[in-house]
Copies of this chain bind each other. A is one copy, B any other.
Amino acid sequence: MSILREKILHVASDLFQTRGINSTGVDTIVAVAGTTKMTLYKYFHSKENLILEVLQKGHQDFQAWLNGKMSSKKPTEKLQQLFDHIEEWITAPDFRGMAFLKASAEFPNEENAVHRLSAEQSRQFKQYLAGLATDAGAKDPEALALQLSLLIEGAVQAEQMKRGSGAIKYAKKAAKILIEMALKG
């Protein structure tokens, strides 16, 4: 509803990705967003709360974008084409990484709320892959989904570490082999 609320979310998301979460103070966020701490704490009553909302919005936006790309495709081809979309995402100039991967590294304690949300989002992504694997007729959909998630998250990690790594190119080739083996074998 509020424009300032959205602005804060957007700015925080950007700063968290480019500078890290713990290295970004709320003073910086409100300065870039062009507002004050009073407003920030009105909408998000703690920094941890803001972090959680940023993560949730990021995950929702990503899933919505991916779902839009994936619509109206044959089940057997969906898994392959998924990697085309992931490649488009990773190689885009404004790619900044997978938010929940970084967040879980900054909050390693498994009891921490941010870590728990990150783990939940990772689980949901694997579940999404498992759905695609099931539709495609894989023998062991959970196994294939986990293997593909390793390739995707590994490629994202590699690209976070070094832009232009080209990792996704080789992840795609590996995925093709694994998908074929899981469907035929």
Interface residues of chain A, those whose CB is within 8 Å of chain B, are: 17-20, 22-23, 96-97, 101-102, 104-110, 115, 118-119, 122-123, 143, 146-147, 149-155, 157-158, 160-163, 167, 170-171, 173-174, 177-178, 181
CB distance from A90 to the nearest CB of B (A): 12
Per DSSP, chain A at the interface is: helix
- Chain B residues with CB under 8 Å of A110's CB are 162-163
How far does the alpha carbon of A123 sit from the alpha carbon of B161 in the complex, in Å? 10
Q: Let me know if A150 and B167 touch, CB within 8 A.
A: yes
Q: Of B108, B152, B174, which contacts A178 at CB under 8 A? A: B174
Interface centre among A122, A150, A158, A160 (most CB of B within 10 A): A150
- Chain B residues with CB under 8 Å of A147's CB are 151, 170-171, 173-174
- Chain B residues with CB under 8 Å of A153's CB are 154, 157-158
Q: Let me know if B173 and A20 touch, CB within 8 A.
A: no
Chain B residue with Cβ nearest A158: B150
How far does the alpha carbon of A149 sit from the alpha carbon of B143 in the complex, in Å? 19
CB distance from A91 to the nearest CB of B (A): 16
Q: A22-B20, A122-B161, A162-B110 are in contact. Are A150 and B146 (CB under 8 A)?
A: no
How far does the alpha carbon of A27 sit from the alpha carbon of B20 in the complex, in Å? 22
- Chain B residues with CB under 8 Å of A109's CB are 18-19
CB distance from A104 to the nearest CB of B (A): 5
Please, could you name 23 A-B residue pairs with CB atoms under 8 Å apart, sorted by A? A17-B108, A18-B109, A20-B107, A20-B108, A22-B22, A23-B107, A96-B108, A104-B160, A106-B106, A110-B163, A118-B161, A119-B162, A122-B162, A123-B162, A143-B170, A146-B158, A147-B173, A150-B158, A150-B171, A152-B154, A153-B157, A154-B157, A157-B157
